[in-house]
Chain A
């Protein structure tokens, strides 16, 4: 597990209150633990990536943040207030999973209805502006039933912006879109972030995090695996160099490595090394001291080391390793 970073960059905005704080957030459905002891902080001005494979508890977490699901335990604070009622979630807007709209109403009527649900006086909500922002002005009078997936995603962002929030929660906003649609949404996220919004962006696409986010939390099976600035996590990835080792006795090698505290055996993927059969290769990672002590230990145990290859993981591999070795 990569340690969460305690370094705090200066926050954007008028005061230091974070946009979102999760503290020990847990949700159980019967025996199934969907989210376990999740804690992290989204500061003002962040584009915060919430990264994890499908089914890792991301959506359940967002449902709790938006007030759709009651946490089993733990606390959620939005701009410093415990987010237990709509009033306390006032500065926040967003959506979870596929956005739901009244298909038999036009986009405009959907937005008017949502503005009413926000207790906005008729005519005061920036309807035209948000439709303009997401590029739906031309189609605003058409029924949502006739919209493509990408248009619905954009309408969902418009619906969120209608609240004039300071903090935007987007759940897989590019899901199910073609490359053009993805590019449009990402450009929009960049634009909104540039306008000063804090954005919490859930995704299972690492490339999306790399393109958009300054900080990231990585989750798998409901637990936090890593949290911090994107650059720091990339740095940690370089520190945690992985080695592929070819020996005369892999079985014995694994036993020896297992007994060492400074070594983590890596499993989960075929262990490939050109010129050797996968079963001959042992994959492990170790700390900053490198592979020297490990090799010495193996030789002392009578294992013959035939090859040792360091492999520096890129972020993609780190993510896979974080979520697989769990």
Chain B
């Protein structure tokens, strides 16, 4: 079933709008930088000092900004629709009339959505890196502590960072699938996912999180910055991993439990 869920994703225009947006934004960012010859002032964003001279910085800065709104949004747009969209199109009832079990169908959908979310990150970082290389070229990277990072190591760390950003993204996708399963309503699920992100970011910005602040899902999106330190600070990275997995597991289990029982009425 996973193969068919992926096939359905590939045949939907929206999937490519999402991946297209993930590809276009780094390019637009690069063009804007080349035209204005200036980016964010140094200190405001990590790596900004090398913005004009080092193509490796392009995927890093776009990752820093993209993980705040763009990547979560692109993920939630598809994940929130995963079940609700099929309810409103009447295709869920068609599928449930076949031999596949509800559980089998659910996990196939879950896998397909997560593959999509991973693709969004890969396209976003890959295009940023490629564009940076073509337009500016690579040179050794100045780490966050000032230690130089070789080009080869830099590329490795950038992909490791992408993987680290993917973790909370997968958790967010799971949460959107949960909303989709409970509400059977695409708009509510997408908006719900976005509201969760904004709410958690607000809580963190206003300092309302208290002791919980380091454990908020949204704060895991910046854990990858710690990969760029020398020595690497593993604590926040490990925390990002388990917090994300916890969110994902809880969301998936709840979504599954609802999906296998819920009446399908449309």
Query: Contact residues of A with B, CB < 8 Å?
Result: 63, 66-70, 85-87, 90, 93-105, 109, 113-114, 116-119, 159, 163
C-alpha gap A114/B13 in the complex (Å): 21
Say whether B261 faces chain A, with CB atoms less than 8 Å apart: yes
CB-based nearest B residue for A112: B4
Knowing A98-B90, A100-B90 are in contact, say whether A68-B8 is a contact too (CB < 8 A). no
Partner of A105, one of B8, B86, B98: B8
C-alpha gap A268/B173 in the complex (Å): 55
B4 to chain A, nearest CB (A): 5
Are B263 and A70 in contact (CB-based, < 8 A)? yes
A30 to chain B, nearest CB (A): 12
Are B101 and A85 in contact (CB-based, < 8 A)? yes
Q: For window 246-266 of chain B, which residues contact chain A by CB distance below 8 Å?
A: 261, 263-265
B216 to chain A, nearest CB (A): 36
C-alpha gap A311/B263 in the complex (Å): 45
Are A99 and B90 in contact (CB-based, < 8 A)? yes
CB-based nearest A residue for B96: A68
Are A69 and B1 in contact (CB-based, < 8 A)? no
Are B96 and A67 in contact (CB-based, < 8 A)? yes
C-alpha gap A169/B148 in the complex (Å): 70
C-alpha gap A86/B101 in the complex (Å): 6
Say whether B100 faces chain A, with CB atoms less than 8 Å apart: yes
Are B100 and A119 in contact (CB-based, < 8 A)? yes
C-alpha gap A103/B98 in the complex (Å): 18
C-alpha gap A63/B262 in the complex (Å): 12
B13-54 Cβ-contact flags toward A at 8 Å (1 or 0): 100000000000000000000000000000000000000000
CB-based nearest B residue for A59: B265
Q: Which residues of A contact B99 (CB under 8 A)?
A: 86-87, 90, 117-119, 163
Partner of B264, one of A63, A87, A95, A116: A63
Among A68, A70, A94, find the residue whose CB has the most chain B CB atoms closer than 10 A. Answer: A68
Q: Which residues of A contact B90 (CB under 8 A)?
A: 97-101
Knowing A100-B89, A100-B90, A100-B93 are in contact, say whether A117-B261 is a contact too (CB < 8 A). no
Knowing A68-B263, A70-B261, A113-B7 are in contact, say whether A102-B100 is a contact too (CB < 8 A). no
CB-based nearest A residue for B86: A100
Are B12 and A96 in contact (CB-based, < 8 A)? no
Say whether B205 faces chain A, with CB atoms less than 8 Å apart: no
B85-97 Cβ-contact flags toward A at 8 Å (1 or 0): 0100111111111
Are A100 and B4 in contact (CB-based, < 8 A)? no
C-alpha gap A119/B99 in the complex (Å): 7
CB-based nearest B residue for A96: B93
User: What 10 pairs across the A-B complex have the smallest Cβ distances?
Assistant: A100-B90, A117-B98, A68-B264, A117-B100, A69-B263, A100-B91, A118-B99, A118-B98, A100-B94, A86-B99
